[in-house]
Amino acid sequence: MSKRCGKLHGNIMIERIVGRLNVGESGDDAVAYVKSRMTPGAWEKLTPAVQRSFDCEVRRVHERNLKLYRNVMSGRL
């Protein structure tokens, strides 16, 4: 099962934004893109714990999308 990322686990907005990315992007690029979609100054207002949870959730969703892509392209799905 996938790793849980604190309070942001299953956040629909993160899933929608990450869903727009190409699965070939790196995890760092995915986090940077999602952060760029936030209101200016919003990242700095988050506590370090929420920032870590955010980073974890973006990477988790991006990895899940990559796994789905690989399964589809290999014919396993």
What are 30-42's pLDDT values in tens digits? 999 999 999 999 9
Q: Is residue 35 part of a domain?
A: no
Q: Is residue 38 part of a domain?
A: no
User: DSSP letters of 5-49?
Assistant: -GGGTT-HHHHHHHHTS-TTS-HHHHHHHHHHTSPTTHHHHS-HH
Domain total of the chain: 1
| Model confidence, pTM | 0.86
Q: Is residue 71 part of a domain?
A: yes
Q: Is residue 61 part of a domain?
A: yes
Q: What is the pLDDT of residues 52-76, one digit of tens each?
A: 999 999 999 999 999 999 999 999 8
Q: Which domain range does residue 73 map to?
A: 8-17+45-77
Q: Is residue 59 part of a domain?
A: yes
Q: Is residue 23 part of a domain?
A: no
